[in-house]
Amino acid sequence: MSNERLRAAILSNDLDLATIATRVGVDPKTIEKWVAGRAPHRRNKYALASVLGCDVSYLWTDEQGAEATTAVGQAELVSLYPHRSVVPGRIWTDLYERATEQLDVLVYAGFWLSEDPLFLRIVQEKARSGAVVRFLLGDPDGEQVARRGADEGIGGAMASKIRNALVNYTRLFGLPGVEFRVHNTILYNSIYRADDELLVNTHVHGVGAYLAPVLHIRRLPQGTMFATYVESFDRVWSDARPLSSPTDLGDA
């Protein structure tokens, strides 16, 4: 069944399909298929609704309205801390201790976490119990780590922290289910995942991560924030280089 609301919205905006397609980032024939009744992926629904100035729930009645989406997003947010330095220390280890299936860490260095003996023990126990553990650290020889060090005024100290953190993780290498990779992406957020919970340390240009805000997020049905950060982690993971030991960085 064709989507007459979508057709009408396109006509009322006086935009041709080529212009709309360019703004959404798809082919004009794809827009035609959506008008004919094919449902776009959610990200394309929101992009198209934005271009047309419509609420996504008006164009596709199975979607939540903006108010409902906002309400669910607010419910996903468990806590907001103005700085990482004021987050209670036990939150990080408590979060990972509750996990049974998935533990993820995305940072440049996260050196402070690598020094925590309780965290190291928890990772060992979870891995031996069958959990999947993924560590993503910045490539100390990469362009983005060098730039972050310069932005924060610490120069090569950022790369040194990464190398030191990897040494601290030596006993985790080779454990079943534990994998390390290094990435060369711009780190917009550090992400710490434990099953259906996240701690997200946002990053602010020229400010150390310990002074930036932290979001505690919990996955909820119909929520989108948790999924957004997990998808971001997975994109970085897919482009990152695996490490077999703390000392194989020179193989790049």
How much is the pLDDT for 224? 83
Question: Any residues with CB less than 8 A from the CB of 44 and at least 6 apart, and which?
Answer: 24, 25, 26
Q: Which residue has the higher pLDDT, 252 or 92?
A: 92
Can you give the pLDDT at residue 68?
67
Looking at the fold, whether 82 and 196 belong to one and the same domain comes out as yes
The predicted pLDDT at position 251 comes to 44
Distances (CA, A) of 48 to 63, 69, 100, 219: 13, 17, 38, 26
One-letter identity of residue 70: T
- Domain total for the chain? 2
Q: Is residue 77 predicted with pLDDT exceeding 60?
A: yes
> Do the domain assignments include residue 68?
no
Residue 14, pLDDT score: 81
Q: Which residues pair with 79 in a beta bridge?
A: 216
CATH of the domain at 48: 1.10.260.40
Are 82 and 130 members of one domain?
Answer: yes
pLDDT more than 70, % of the chain: 96
Q: What is the pLDDT of residue 96?
A: 95
Query: What domain range is 168 assigned to?
Result: 73-251
Q: What is the model's pTM?
A: 0.74
